[in-house]
Homo-oligomer: A and B are copies of this chain.
Amino acid sequence: MTMTVVADALKKRGFRVTAPRIRIFNVLQKASYPMSVQEVKMGTKGVDTVTVYRTLEAFKRVGLVAQVDLQLGRALYELKEGKSDHHHIVCVSCKKIEDFTGCDYQPIAQQALKQSKGFTKIINHSLELFGLCTLCATK
């Protein structure tokens, strides 16, 4: 994902392109795993925590970022790469996180909409697996 894409995505939705937002974007870009607000703040140093919250929320609305809930007591965030959407497996014991791909969610969404009385549009989805990593399983 290029810087221009970010700037355009923001502007298109009426958001401004600012230094803190660019810095936060860069931190997310480097991450190999979804980050917490605190982690993002650490990575940017100088940007206030509140700004991180607000920026991640803005990125989320704009569709640049996905919120990930892994039952860790806090929300995590990661860039939505244009490519195939991936999801996570989390070890319920040591909290190790791994990615996996291959969620064909379109048919599920279609089926859900067909069943639904009150919804007509799906914007996004979350899918997470919880398990025991090989290490923790042997204990």
**A residues engaging B (CB < 8 A)?**
67, 69, 71, 75, 87, 89, 91-92, 96, 98, 100-103, 108-109, 111-112, 115-135, 137
Contacts and interface: CB of A to CB of B under 8 A. Distances in A.
Contacts of A100: 111-112, 115-116
How many copies of this chain are found per oligomer?
2
A92 B67 CA distance: 13
Contacts of A91: 118-119
Chain A facing B: main interface SS: strand
Nearest to A71: B67
Contact of A132 (B67, B71, B115, B123): B123
B112 A129 contact: yes
A133 B118 contact: yes
A89 B123 CA distance: 10
A87 B90 CA distance: 19
